Amino acid sequence: MAEHQLPERQSPLEPEYHPGSHGNFEHGVDVILSETRPGSILQLAAWAGEEKRLIEVVRKVTGLALPDGAGGGVGNGARAAFGFAPGKFTVVDEAEGLAQAFAGAITPAIGTLTDLSHGRTAIRIAGPKAEWVMAKFFAIDFALPAFPLGAGRSTNHHDIFAQIQRSGADQFDIYVFRSFARSFWKALCHASEEVGYEVQ
Amino acid sequence: MLITCPYCGPRDVIEFTYQGDGNRERPQPASQNLDAWNAYVYDRLNPAGDHNEIWQHSGGCRAHLRVVRNTLTHEVLSTAFARGGHKTESRS
């Protein structure tokens, strides 16, 4: 049987993606920027009252124990999930094909599944000054007690909608519309110049 | 001005979109009552004080909210989801 061939995905950041150290890095690099390029980015939405059943489906399909609560999230390195709106969740996998894994599990009675793998770009910012740079972009509290590990937030930067998950004590994953990703990336690079940044 | 979204917590007003007076009652779509439609479209209380409003957290979770705002002080007295069903505890 022939293998299912998926087209190779190209990065929208490519013309502006310059690996190496940039900006004011003489005294060290304080943030590391990268594109994580997950194979699957899904949006799951539960009908009103079906949230707990959807969370259970996420646990069965991905093994992720999604906490029930506003902006609750979890990650295990390869996979991540977080709530970004009432009854709505983003689920991410390094590997492609997560939508197929969910397809039979999310029944029409529970909610809906939207495959955004080609519609979002995932950017990671890590390092001791990650909170500082993020705070210049978004008017939300990035301190660890207010934005705990695994949690997700929906906000925007100059009308570019962003979903943010804290994937480490000093690391955030930002999901932006693919069509705006290059513009956002350039702005993020400019914002990181003052602290010295490395693109990996 | 900060509005405390029941889902996202306190956020700057720039993330929200005003969706109009929250006191309006929309007639049934088939209604032929022109007075009711006229009131729905045009009549506003325009109070100097507490005012029921509908806002959308358009730059965040995109939920529609019932907000009580004081039009003199801009103090936001309460927020709630405009539609029930999703009962998520506020973080704040």
Domains, chain A, in order of start with CATH, read 11-37+119-147+165-200 (3.30.1360), 39-116 (3.30.70.1520)
Look at strands B17-21 and A160-168 and give their pairing.
Answer: unpaired
What is the band of B87 on the pLDDT scale with cuts at 50, 70, 90?
A: very low
ipTM, interface predicted TM-score of the complex = 0.86
Residue A128 CA to residue A141 CA, distance in Å, equals 16
Which residues in chain B have Cβ-Cβ distances shorter than 8 Å to A48?
Answer: 84-86
Residue A87 CA to residue A93 CA, distance in Å, equals 20
Per CATH, which fold does B2-27+35-81 belong to? Folate-binding fold (3.30.2270)
pTM of the shown model: 0.90
Which residues in chain B have Cβ-Cβ distances shorter than 8 Å to A51?
Answer: 86
Q: Is B22 on the interface with A (CB under 8 A)?
A: no
Contact (CB, 8 A) for A18 and A73: no
**Has residue A198 got a pLDDT over 70?**
yes
**Has residue B25 got a pLDDT over 90?**
no
In this prediction, residues A121-137 reach a mean pLDDT of 96
Place of tokens 């979109």: B17
Contact (CB, 8 A) for A106 and A113: yes
Tokens of B90: 């506020």
Chain segment A41-79, per-residue pLDDT in tens:
999 999 999 999 999 999 999 999 999 889 999 999 899
Give the A-side interface with B, CB within 8 Å.
Answer: 48-49, 51, 69-71, 84-88, 139-140, 153-156, 159, 161
Facing residue for B85 by CB, picked from A49, A85, A159: A49
Q: What sign for the dihedral angle of Cα A99, A86, B57, A38?
A: negative
**What is the four-CA torsion angle of A114, A83, A108, A41, rounded to 10 degrees?**
20
**Are A85 and B90 inside 8 Å of each other by CB?**
no
Domain coordinates in residue numbering, chain B: 2-27+35-81
The pLDDT of residue B85 is 40
**Has residue A180 got a pLDDT over 80?**
yes
